[in-house]
Amino acid sequence: MPGFNSIFLFGGFGYWNAPGGSASIGATYNYVTKKYQFLDAEKWPVGAPTNITAAVWDPVNQRVLFTTELDLWAYYPGATAGSRVVRVVAGDGCNSDGCSQYTMVWDSKRKRAVLFGGGNPRYYDFSGGPIGPFAYTITGAGLITISGPGVLYDPVSDRYVHFQGGKTLTFINPDTWVGTSQTPSGGATPTTPNMGGCGGLALPNCQGQGMYYRFFYWAQQDAYVALPTGTTTGVYIFPPARN
């Protein structure tokens, strides 16, 4: 959360750890003081036993947008304790573990929060007027997986970028939703991300899954950064082609 020196955390106990279901909780971690703060003054949404959430920082409204399998919520770090958690859109999820494995990206030009992957691709529009959600379909070259795809927004070239592993990147036009792939000729070849099988889910392709936010735009260096499996295969940098 820029300006608050903190990272937002939301989740709970999975079905493998809580026989009675799940308990959703919220907390922050301040990376200056190196301390956690349990946000027990807030009323948090109760997730499904297999709940998987996605979140993104909304710089326009100074809040974290996050999903459960049922709704879209917001956390306002600057609000009074006890009133920081607000439901923004109700009943727009699909209430299924396989449908919630999204990566959420903030589109700064359109003031849009986009959910990639999962079983119900959609976006929310915060530029004024109806919020949504609005469904979309990617044509041409699309995502290689629906489970935790690595996607970022490049504000310089104004396009969404998908990393599937290896050298190939897929560039998606935010207005037309048409995807095109490009493969550089030189450089190292990143390892293909895979979080270990499809977990029993009926997914079209396990390759490239489980990246989530380990593919991101590094604004200070104008570069894309990929960490395919976190700590075991190194860090890979893509310098974007600029006209």
| Predicted pLDDT of residue 71 | 86
Q: What is the pLDDT of residue 99?
A: 63
Where are the domains positioned within the chain? 1-136, 147-243
Taking only the tens of pLDDT, the chain with its 243 residues reads 999 999 999 876 554 444 555 567 789 999 999 999 999 999 988 765 556 678 999 999 999 999 887 889 999 999 999 999 999 999 887 666 556 688 999 999 999 999 998 878 899 999 998 899 999 999 999 888 888 899 999 999 999 999 988 899 999 999 999 999 999 888 988 887 766 555 545 455 566 678 888 999 999 999 999 998 766 668 899 999 887
pTM of the model: 0.88
Other CB atoms within 10 A of residue 37 CB = 13
pLDDT of residue 206: 60
Q: What is the pLDDT of residue 11?
A: 75
CATH placement of domain 1-136: 2.130.10.10
The predicted pLDDT at position 81 comes to: 95
pLDDT score of 53: 78
Q: How far apart are CA 113 and CA 131, in angstroms?
A: 10
Specify the pLDDT at position 100: 64
215-223: long-range pairs with CB below 8 Å, 24+: 215/150, 215/151, 215/152, 215/163, 216/152, 217/152, 217/153, 217/154, 217/155, 217/161, 219/155, 222/156
Give the pLDDT score at 60. Answer: 93
Please give the pLDDT value at position 240: 92
The CA-atom distances, in angstroms, between 26 and each of 8, 39, 62, 84, 155 are: 8, 6, 17, 11, 30
Q: What is the reported pLDDT for 68? A: 81
For residue 137, the model assigns a pLDDT of 95
